[in-house]
Amino acid sequence: MARILIVEDSQTEMFRFREILLKHGYEVLEANNGAEGAAMAQAELPDLILMDVVMPGVNGFQATRHICRTESTRDIPIVMLSSKDQDTDRAWGMRQGAKAYLIKPIEEVELVSVIEQLLQQAVQHSSE
């Protein structure tokens, strides 16, 4: 089953996302901030990353940009998760390389649907 890295500084949100992913059969990796997330992405090469935006130190935009510009990790789909729902935030996240931008609180059905869609696209892309 696919391995998903959650990059989230809120333990409450981390727990919620972990429970959803485990329930749907995904293997879960965890990082508590953007710098740790970028390092773990390189070390573990997960199939997909859930990236919080607002974190201390390296924020989600910066971590996403780093991951998307690094040779070994640039093809990993990133889903940004944020309470910031301005069009400018969404556009900026996508410009950094995110494949999706979801607004918290996120419904389980929507989250799983987006993950499954992106994983499917990644499989198709890698077989081309």
Spatial contact of 68 and 74, defined as CB atoms under 8 Å apart: yes
- Residue 101 within a domain: yes
pLDDT tens for residues 27-63? 999 999 999 999 999 999 999 999 999 999 999 999 9
Residue 98: other Cβ atoms inside 10 A: 25
| Cβ atoms of 68 and 95 closer than 8 Å | no
Could you give the CA distance from residue 128 to residue 123 in angstroms, rounded to a whole number? 9
- What is the total count of domains within the chain? 1
pLDDT value for 45: 98
Q: Which token pair is 41?
A: 């992405």
Instruction: Tell whether 20 is covered by a domain.
Output: yes
In this predicted structure, the answer to whether residue 124 has a pLDDT above a threshold of 90 is no
Kindly report the three-state secondary structure assignment for every residue of the chain: CCEEEEECCCHHHHHHHHHHHHHCCCEEEEECCHHHHHHHHHHHCCCEEEEECCCCCCCHHHHHHHHHHCCCCCCCCEEEEECCCCHHHHHHHHHHCCCEEEECCCCHHHHHHHHHHHHHHHHHHHCC
Q: Name the residue among 33, 87, 120 with its Cα closest to residue 112.
A: 120
Residue 47 in domain? yes
Residue 11 sits in a domain whose CATH number is 3.40.50.2300
Q: Answer yes or no: is 26 within a domain.
A: yes
The answer to whether position 64 is within a domain reads yes
pLDDT at 127: 74
* Predicted confidence (pLDDT) per residue in 96-109, tens digit: 999 999 999 999 99
The reply to whether 128 falls in a domain is no
The structure's pTM equals: 0.97
Tell me the residue range of the domain where 12 lies. Answer: 3-123
